[in-house]
């Protein structure tokens, strides 16, 4: 069953974990409710039944403890894949992630490796209560020693997670939770792209939209609408937020001359700010317009009745596209 014509991102992640655990007996899955329940999003559904409680570990409700013990397990030679239940709950573990996980390889002058993968369902759009809809990726991408990736479709979800697990660095793997049940094609025998590369999700010639995770679909919808108005939009799915594949973005912007960055996370000091600065430096003479950003506001993620207004949607992205094209 190499090709799934339509598989959800959640099921692709499940298949990916299964493949990693079958390939390497040192791979462990640990987190809150990941065992019998299969996780609150059922992403780890059935894994404990098939791989046992020794490899699929329900943990106490203590995020620092989960990540801290995962570090210890990694030092012993295991490859723990940790689930943080929701984005807003990662902060008790932030100390372990930043002061220990990220720095241990450098601290040990390369003598120890800590291949811990931390899966975080992130971003909004599911009508949740507070702390369940946040986009903290910039807080992790900012930290040297960590790698950060986020898939936008089933195939990338499947391959990127296995690549993250197989690598020897700590990786934060952000899962776009409102896209968990979006279906797309997966060929489990395909040859995947290297992990930290961006992908041209749609070719175009007038403007580049760069996005990742949940916003890729919005940008593809924007490109469709813009096409009806005779505008040709290229969509870059960044996929990796640390490192960022600036070369692919640069090549795209050199073709289109315009760049709009889109993410759910607040615009201020976000991933888009870094890309805007770098692309301005790299593509100064190719740019026909200032690099624009569309994203969240400098405000706490709002109550869910307001999230449709807060989240960058079709209209807000189109507005930015129009402003960029007006130059």
Per annotation, catalytic residue among 4, 105, 131, 132: 132
Residue closer to another protein, measured from CB, 6 or 107:
107
Tokens representing residue 205 in the block: 């010639």
How many residues bind another protein (CB under 8 A)? The answer is 47
Is position 138 an interface residue for another protein (rule: CB under 8 A)? no
- Provide the 3-class DSSP secondary structure of residue 5: strand
Q: Name the segment binding another protein (CB under 8 A); options: 92-100, 177-185, 221-229, 316-324.
A: 92-100
Pair 83, 43: CB distance under 8 Å? yes
Pair 269, 136: CB distance under 8 Å? no
Residues 238-257 that bind another protein (CB under 8 A): 242-246
Minimal distance in Å, beta carbon 74 to another protein? 8
Diameter over CA atoms, the chain: 60
Q: Any catalytic annotation for residue 4?
A: no
Query: Which residues lie across from 242 on neighbouring strands?
Result: 148
Residue closer to another protein, measured from CB, 247 or 308:
247
Residues 37-56 that bind another protein (CB under 8 A): 54
Residue closer to another protein, measured from CB, 41 or 246:
246
Is position 59 an interface residue for another protein (rule: CB under 8 A)? yes
Q: Name the segment binding another protein (CB under 8 A); options: 35-43, 57-65, 209-217, 294-302.
A: 57-65
Q: Contacting another protein (CB under 8 A), which of 1, 5, 77, 299?
A: 77
Is position 216 an interface residue for another protein (rule: CB under 8 A)? no
Closest CA to 181 of 238, 257, 126, 107: 126
Is position 191 an interface residue for another protein (rule: CB under 8 A)? no
Site string for another protein, 105-134 (x = CB under 8 A): xxxxxxxxx-x-------------------
Residues 158-187 that bind another protein (CB under 8 A): 167-169
Please give the distance of CA 56 from its chain centroid, rounded to a whole number.
Answer: 23
H/E run at residue 45? none
Pair 155, 216: CB distance under 8 Å? no
Helix, strand, coil percentages for the chain (3-state, nearest 5) = 40, 20, 40
Residue closer to another protein, measured from CB, 69 or 188:
69
Q: Contacting another protein (CB under 8 A), which of 16, 100, 153, 208?
A: 100
Q: Where are the beta strands (DSSP E) in 188-283?
A: 199-202, 207-211, 233-237, 240-242, 259-266
Angstrom CA distances, 128 to 8, 121, 132, 305, stand at 21, 13, 6, 9
Bridge-based pairing state of the strands 79-83 and 56-58: unpaired
Q: Contacting another protein (CB under 8 A), which of 69, 153, 162, 188?
A: 69
Residue closer to another protein, measured from CB, 169 or 319:
169
Torsion sign, CA atoms 266, 267, 268, 270:
positive
Q: Name the segment binding another protein (CB under 8 A); options: 60-68, 130-138, 218-226, 254-262.
A: 60-68
Q: Name the segment binding another protein (CB under 8 A); options: 66-74, 126-134, 180-188, 198-206.
A: 66-74
Minimal distance in Å, beta carbon 92 to another protein? 8
Torsion sign, CA atoms 249, 250, 253, 255:
negative
Please give the distance of CA 177 from its chain centroid, rounded to a whole number.
Answer: 10
Would you please indicate which residues are annotated as catalytic (active-site) residues? 132
The residues binding another protein (CB under 8 A) are 54, 59-60, 62, 64-65, 67-78, 92, 95-96, 99-100, 103-113, 115, 144-145, 147, 167-169, 196, 242-246
């Amino acid at each position: 069953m190499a090709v799934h014509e339509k598989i959800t991102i959640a099921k692709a992640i499940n298949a990916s974990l299964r493949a990693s655990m079958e390939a390497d007996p040192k791979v462990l899955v640990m987190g809150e409710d990941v065992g019998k329940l299969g996780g609150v999003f059922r992403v780890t559904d059935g894994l404990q039944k098939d791989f046992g409680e020794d490899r699929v570990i329900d943990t106490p409700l203590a995020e620092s403890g989960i990540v801290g013990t995962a570090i210890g397990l990694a030092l012993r030679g295991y490859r723990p894949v940790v689930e943080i239940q929701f984005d807003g709950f990662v902060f008790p573990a932030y100390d372990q992630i930043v002061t220990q996980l990220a720095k241990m390889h450098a601290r040990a002058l390369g003598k120890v490796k800590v291949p811990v993968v931390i899966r975080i369902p992130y971003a909004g759009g599911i009508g949740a209560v507070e702390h369940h809809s946040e986009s903290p990726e910039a807080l992790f991408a900012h930290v040297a020693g960590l790698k950060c990736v986020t898939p936008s479709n089933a195939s990338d979800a499947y391959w990127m997670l296995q690549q993250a697990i197989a690598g020897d660095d700590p990786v934060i793997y952000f899962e776009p939770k409102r896209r968990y049940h979006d279906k797309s094609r997966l060929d489990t025998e395909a040859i995947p792209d290297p992990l930290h590369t961006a992908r041209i999700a749609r070719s175009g010639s007038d403007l580049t939209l760069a996005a990742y995770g949940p916003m890729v679909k919005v940008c593809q919808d924007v490109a469709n609408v813009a096409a009806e108005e005779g505008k040709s939009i290229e969509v870059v799915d960044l996929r990796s937020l640390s490192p960022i594949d600036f070369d692919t973005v640069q090549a795209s912007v050199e073709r289109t001359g315009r760049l709009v960055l889109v993410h759910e996370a607040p615009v201020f000091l976000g991933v888009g700010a870094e890309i805007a600065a770098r692309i301005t430096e790299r593509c100064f003479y190719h740019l026909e317009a200032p690099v624009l950003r569309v994203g969240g506001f400098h405000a706490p993620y709002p109550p869910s009745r307001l999230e449709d207004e807060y989240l960058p949607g079709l209209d807000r992205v189109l507005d930015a596209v129009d402003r960029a094209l007006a130059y």
